[in-house]
Amino acid sequence: MMILRPARLNDIESILALAKISGPMVYTLPADREALLQKIERSISAFEQDVFCPGEEFYFFVLEDSRNKKLVGTGAINALAGYEAPFYAFRNDTLIHSSRQLNVHSRIHALTLSHDLSDHSQLCSFYVLPNVTDSSQADPSEQDIYRHCLELITLGRLLFMTTYPERFSRNWMAVLPGVFDNNGRAPFWEHVGRKFINLNYHQVEEHHGTQASTFIAELMPHHPLYVPLIAPEAQSVMGQNHPRTERQCHLLSEQGFNSDKYVEIFDAGPIFAAPRHALDIWQKKQSVSLKIKESINNKIKQTHRYLIGITDSQGFRSCFIEGVLQGEQLHVTQEHAHQAHLTQDQSLWCLAL
């Protein structure tokens, strides 16, 4: 069973190993031991605080395989994306150019540097080990494990946010990687960003992930970029996610996020955003009591898969579990309860999948 739980200090070496493998896919997961230690320490402090409104808090989660205690993924949440410095993105705008004399009325697509998303809570630092994932040689069971990991890191964090809404903004977002090749060449960066900042794509993402982002306001263009004037190669990748994030895009869209308004400033990857009340998980989660049984008679009612979230002496954790929901009680087997470290009559949040 995979368990999503808060990161601990003794996880540092495993998290560092994940960060080294992730490369430029996850700029918010830098392969820097000191930077990662600071993230874990910030997270521990955030979980321990009584928070009544979002601020500088950062919540860092890891995905652990309960069989061998191996960490296979990470995911984090910034309570406010722009708390320390504005969060910059390109906003998709339509500018109207009109001439009554020539009887011309044109609608021009433009990108405008914006910090509109600074007051959003941000899902970030998402990563799953590639060898749990997307080998073309992978058998169906391994592909199922990959999807399982993707879903748990994404939905588990959203369940935490719905469980503790006072800790987060009313608007949530997630930034997904855009298109770049195996050599680290990102078409949008080469045709747009590099004309203002003479660094390669890997360098600018590393700088963004480990240092202050004031260079964005200092160097990136403040006037609208007219899309028809941008090279066709760069236009073709605007709003396009990296192929390895296809399932995550689907999950976010299913929940009610949309990616029409903003793109990331370096690779033009999609930024998914939504008011929390519009999300499926916000509307459908339930508070239930756990009932543990030796077995469940499937002839009476078929078992289903549920996402559950628990807060106890170990802190918040989330996992998937098979069971039967009857009213405000979730019935599970002794075996499943043992794997998830659950106890009789325990209160938890659940979402039917």
pLDDT by residue (tens digit) across 110-119?
A: 999 999 999 9
pTM above 0.85, yes or no: yes
DSSP code string of 155-220: HHHHHHHHHSGGGS-SEEEEE------TT---HHHHHTGGGTS-S-HHHHHHHHHHS-THHHHHHS
Domains of the chain in sequence order:
2-90+113-280 (3.40.630.30), 285-352 (2.40.40.20)
Tell me, what's the pLDDT at 219?
A: 83
**Cross-strand pairs, 350:** 286, 308
Give the whole-angstrom CA distance, residue 51 versus residue 34: 26
Rounded-to-integer distance, Cα 43 and Cα 77, Å: 9
pLDDT at 105: 85
pLDDT score recorded for residue 57: 97
To the nearest 10 degrees (0 to 180), the angle between helices 33-48 and 12-22 is 120
Position 117: which residue type?
A: L
- pLDDT at res. 294: 80
Q: What is the pLDDT of residue 315?
A: 86
Helix (H, G, I), strand (E, B) or coil at 13: helix
Q: Report pLDDT for 102.
A: 85
Contacts of 310 by beta carbon, 8 Å cutoff, 6+ apart: 316, 317, 318, 340, 342, 346, 348, 349
C-alpha span between 209 and 233 (Å, rounded): 26
How far is Cα 305 from Cα 323, in angstroms, rounded to an integer?
A: 7
* Residue spans of the chain under pLDDT 70: 24, 132-142, 209-213, 297-301
List the one residue out of 2, 138, 125, 160 whose CA is nearest residue 72. Answer: 2
Q: CA-to-CA distance for 195 and 36, rounded, in angstroms?
A: 31
